[in-house]
Structure formats: C-alpha cells, structure tokens
Amino acid sequence: MAKKNNKGGPPKRITRPGRPLGILERERFTESTLNRWNAVSRDLDELHAVLFFGLQPEQRRLRKELIVALQTVPAAMQDLSQWVRIVTYQYSLEPLSSAGSLRDVGGQFNAGSELDPGTLAAWPALYIAEDFQTAFREKFQLAQTGSVDGLTPQELALEHGVSHGTVFVQGRLHSVFDMTTSRTLAAVARVLRRIKMPSCIGRPKAAANAWRYSRICWHPVPSLNSWMPHLLVRLMCAWTWIQPTR
C-alpha cells in the first residue's frame, strides 16, 4: 500500500512504474488521500463563491459599458460551407435546436433559464463545428480514433450503442463577433480592468488554501490588470470551456 503523505497541501499523484495515468487513477489513492482531495475541493468551492459573489456586482454595474465595448467592434460575416453538428438520434428531427443550452444555468457562452431572477435574461447558444472531427470532439470530448484505457469516446460518454445524427449546415451568419483575436477584445479588456478583486475580509483560510493549491499567490490585487486582450483570447480558445451537449 502506498505511504500516506502527511504534509500539507494537495496530495501528489501516486503512481506505479510502467502504469500510465488513466481513468483508474482513483483506485490508487489511499483513503487519507481521498479525504484530503475532498477537503481541497471544498476549499476551491469556497474560493469560487468568494470570487463569484465578489465580482458579480461589479460585472452587473459595468454591464452597459461592456455591451458598448462589444458594439464598437465592426460586425463581421461568416459563410458556413459544410459545417457540422452531431446530435443524439432522438433529437435528430430538430438538429439545430438550441433548447438544451437553456437548461440549468447555461454554458460558457450563454445564460440558462435557472439563474437567479434579476441577474441575466436567458439566451440560447448553438454549437456548430467547421468540420466533422471538431464536431465529434465537441460531442464526445475526444477524437474519433481516440481512446482512454481501451475505452472508446462513445463508451466514456456512456453512449455506447446509442445512435447519432450528423447534419451539414450551409448558410451565412451576419453580425458576427470574432472572439479569437486580441484586436476585437481590446475594448472589453479595458472595461474588465476596472473591476476590483474582492477584498475577502479576513482572508478565509479555505480560500487562501485554494489559492495556494492552484499555485496562485494570495496578494491584494487592486484591479484585474491581468485582463489583457491576449489573455481573453487564450481563455476563449481554450478547449476546457467545452460542456457536454445533447
């Protein structure tokens, strides 16, 4: 049995020579390790709450200015030629429906129907990919030929043996905002820099621990000066924003 790690901080991964990390990693943890991971998880939840409830009022206060900043960028057009969307077969009669995006609190690019009243009105988002492989990754989070510990993307998504429909889209989008360049996000970044970080009165221990676990130094930051256009581009284009879709 692996030795227990009695030092503070997040537990290190326990590995065995010749065995790569995979979906069975949890079976290599000791009970003590799992307890400490749960404690770290609670700390991160507290940090998330501190940041959300500390920053949300500022975001709402600057909402009009953020909208104006978006509107200063000239709208672009995007032609769709053989763009792709993959849906579970039961939804194939309405493959371009965005109803699923309105469930719960929404996704990375929209607000859902279960947000608290008075925050944001819900609006839908529709995910369409430029090619089949991208659409497959968006649906199953892995390449079509990928696997993890011998399991296919469909098996990992618990959709093995489930039928899916693939649709190809032709058309043109008007009033497109391109989030993949620093130039278009510069005005938004200037507004975001005015948002002050929450003071976190008393610096809650759990929140401080979460900062340390994330390798983020706990310093009094007067404003979000890190909100530079190139950082926004990196966040928008990161693969980690992907949320499961139907």
Q: pLDDT tens-digit profile of 113-156?
A: 888 777 778 999 999 999 999 999 888 888 888 887 778 888 87
Same domain, 84 and 171: yes
Q: Is the pLDDT of residue 229 over 90?
A: no
Domain assignment present for residue 3? The answer is no
Give the integer Cα–Cα distance in Å for 195 and 62: 9
Give the integer Cα–Cα distance in Å for 146 and 156: 11
pLDDT of 242 reads 47
Q: What average pLDDT is seen over the chain?
A: 76
Report DSSP state, residue 215.
Answer: T
The pLDDT-based confidence of 21 (bands split at 50, 70, 90) is: low
Domain assignment present for residue 10? The answer is no
- What residues contact residue 71 under an 8 Å CB cut-off, 6+ apart? none
Least confident of 21-30, 37-46, 212-221, 236-245: 212-221
Task: Identify the domain boundary among 137, 160, 176.
Answer: 176
pLDDT of 178 reads 87
Domain assignment present for residue 136? The answer is yes
Same domain, 48 and 91: no
Tell me the whole-structure pTM to 2 decimals: 0.64
Report DSSP state, residue 148.
Answer: B
Q: 171: helix, coil or strand?
A: strand
The pLDDT-based confidence of 33 (bands split at 50, 70, 90) is: confident
